[in-house]
Amino acid sequence: MPLDHYLTLGRSGLRVSPLTLGAMGFGEDPPGAGSSVAESERILAAYLDRGGNFIDTANFYTNGHSEKILGDWFAANPGRRDRTVLASKFFFNMHPGDPNGGGAGRSSIRAQLHETLRRLRTDYLDLYWLHNWDRSTPVEETMRALDDLVRDGTVRYLGFSNTPAWFTAQAHTTALLRGWTPLVALQVEYSLLARTVEHELAPFAADQGLALVPWSPLRNGFLSGKYRRGAAVADITRTAHVGLPSEADYDVIETVAAVAAELGTTSAAVSLAWLRSRPGTVVPIVGARRLAHLTDNLAALEVVLSPSQLARLDAVSAPEPAYPSTLHSGMRTMLQFGGTTVDGEPSEVYPPLLASAVRY
């Protein structure tokens, strides 16, 4: 599948590429934090030239340098901005000492958007993400403020990132009930080494028709193919920051490598292809500090995993069940249907109950 075979982002009219270009690493503020301006521009141009159209950044990425690099490039390339789905995020405080400099209150949302639009040199965002949960601001204030931005045309669509499932559901439902702009997508940590999103957030997204936009789909590079059990890692600087995979992680890493060998591709491509095979609309974010990294990641669009390969990857990476899901299946088949078959699902009679349980 090429980058220009687009997907509809959740329940919206917004069409995006099957892989998102993450600009978190664009810029060198502080020095060494990411890619140079020149390399960032090469990565951006290569992605767009191949038909990609979905760019993701945030106000605080490389202290705002990421947004500025994007803005300067689009200003120097007239006509490209309006054909690109440009997304950024708000929440993180860029003004030390100012308690209203960040978060999700009405005034801070507007102030953060103003600065983001200035750096991006545009008058609107296609998608605006809440980057984290603001525990001290009422959800009604946040959602009404965001709806106002959509109504005045400075933002087109809304999404949440890194928020609890109950809060996300509350915000989305509040918007629907009050006639405000609802969410269309959730940006979440999701990979073969991070599947806890499947407990609550992914089912909620599926139920409400929201797209999932996974960040860190290679889990800090662990799924890139560079890590092998018992072998030294070349990138010592990165290892010092993110640590090393666990023994359980290496079980997944080795299975991914085996599938990659079968297909004649890379571990990164297999890991991204697995994500794209998940239910619903899943649009992984691929980051790149060098153009070669982007090229390697885009190879995932050509990978087709067989049912048996998907089953192996699913099994080795399955997350531990979490309460209350640990009780659901047993109670459903033993306590709910009373030994009958419903929707093709058979059930048992709870052992202490006799044929006629109602005696009193």
pLDDT (tens digit, 0 to 9) for every residue of the chain, 360 residues total?
789 999 999 999 999 999 999 999 999 988 877 999 999 999 999 999 999 999 999 999 999 999 999 999 999 999 999 999 999 999 999 999 999 999 999 999 999 999 999 999 999 999 999 999 999 999 999 999 999 999 999 999 999 999 999 999 999 999 999 999 999 999 999 999 999 999 999 999 999 999 999 999 999 999 999 999 988 776 655 565 678 999 999 999 999 999 999 999 999 999 999 999 999 999 999 998 899 999 999 999 999 999 999 999 999 999 998 888 877 766 666 667 777 888 888 887 766 655 555 556
Burial of 323 (0-12, 13-18, 19+ CB in 10 A): exposed
Nearest Cα neighbor of 252 from 276, 228, 230 is 228
d(CA 250, CA 321): 20
pLDDT value at position 342?
A: 86
Within 10 angstroms of residue 316's Cβ, the number of other Cβ atoms is 16
Structure tokens that stand for 243 in this block: 């640590």
Question: Encoding tokens for residue 247?
Answer: 């023994």
> For the chain, how long is the longest CA-to-CA vector?
81
Residue 76 contacts residue 40 (beta carbons within 8 Å): no
pLDDT of residue 351: 67
Specify the 3-state DSSP secondary structure of 163: coil
Set 61, 128, 157, 227: catalytic member: 61
Report how far residue 71's alpha carbon sits from residue 329's, in angstroms, rounded to the nearest whole number. 51
How far is the C-alpha of 198 from the C-alpha of 118, rounded, in Å?
A: 37
Rounded to two decimals, the pTM is 0.93
Contact 67, 92 (CB under 8 A): no
**Position 204, amino acid:** F
Tokens of residue 184, six digits: 């269309």
The domain 7-320 having CATH identifier 3.20.20.100: the answer here is yes
- Residues paired with 88 in a beta bridge: 128
Q: Where exactly are the structural domains of the chain? A: 7-320, 323-360
Paired strand residues for 191: 194
Angle between helices 165-178 and 139-151 (to 10 degrees): 50
Judge whether 190 counts as a catalytic residue.
Answer: no
Q: Which amino acid is at 8?
A: T
Rounded to whole angstroms, what are the CA distances from 229 to 191, 254, 265? 19, 8, 20
Strand duo 155-161 + 7-8: pairing: unpaired
